[in-house]
Structure 1
Amino acid sequence: QTFRETNTLILKKKPHSMAVARIEYSEKYQDDKYEYRHVILPKELAKNLPKARLLSEQEWRGIGVQQSRGWAHYAIHRPEPHILLFRRPLGTDPVTGKIDPALEREAKDAYQNNLELNQAPMPDVSADC
């Protein structure tokens, strides 16, 4: 099948509302550049998806995935193709999907502060014994 045929097939199949209700969304997590989340699809939704390419926003929204703007399907975990991996740049405005420089700076600063807190040396408690 060509990309266009596959895309048309995905968009023509209306997702079953019970299957859509069973889509699971992870909490967001991040590194110094992106925030990430994964979405776990019920097997009946995942079985009709292309296995060898990423989904466009129109495609993943078309199968019932619901999330704010700016997310991109960025990787396929071949052992579990029913788990969609998404990311968006830090500082992305969830309403517009565009990067807001102030939000980006704030998110990167928060990430750096959290990293520093988690890497702070542990106090030496052996002297208290």
Structure 2
Amino acid sequence: MPHYPNQIEYSEKYSDDVYEYRHVHLPKSLYKKMPRNRLLTETEWRELGIQQSRGWTHYEIHRPEPHIMLFRRPIGTDPQTGLVPQNFSLRQLRNECN
């Protein structure tokens, strides 16, 4: 049985060598408004009331608990503009080849 919070809950950020991550727990009322079986655009998740700095991408649906949204952004992303560091794609390719 999933646990639904009374309001939106945000995890602390955590990271690997390429991305920083966070997850967001939605209350049942917001989860019911969420489009199913696809990732949300920034406009869509902001319309649900999720508030976080720029550059975050909804990158995965956690099937066991779909009311928990998984977000990531490249390390070094400007939180004011959402601009990704210029060297990101090269760094990502190196990491995926290792």
Shorter-chain TM-score: which interval?
Answer: 0.7 to 0.9
Q: With a CA cutoff of 8 Å and minimum separation of 6, indicate the structure with the bigger relative contact order.
A: 2
Larger fraction in helix? 1
Runs of 4 or more consecutive aligned structure 1 residues displaced over 4 Å after TM superposition = none
Q: Which has the larger radius of gyration?
A: 1
Q: Deviations over 1:26-48 (max 9, x none)?
A: 00000011000000000110012
1:56 aligns to what? 41
Name the structure with the higher strand share. Answer: 2
CA RMSD in angstroms, aligned pairs only: 1.9
Q: Which residue of 2 aligns with 1:41?
A: 26
Q: Is the 8 A contact 1:91 1:101 kept in 2?
A: no
Unaligned runs of 5+ in 2: 1-5, 92-98
What displacement does 1:60 show? 0.2
Query: Is 1:28 aligned to residue 2 of structure 2?
Result: no
Residues 6-56 of structure 1 deviation map (CA, whole Å, 9 limit, x = unaligned): xxxxxxxxxxxxxxx810000000001100000000011001212210000
Task: Pick one of 73, 76, 79 that aligns with 2:61.
Answer: 76
Which aligned pairs between 1:81-100 and structure 2 lie closer than 5 A? 81-100=66-85
> Please, which runs of 5 or more residues in structure 1 have no aligned partner?
1-20, 109-129
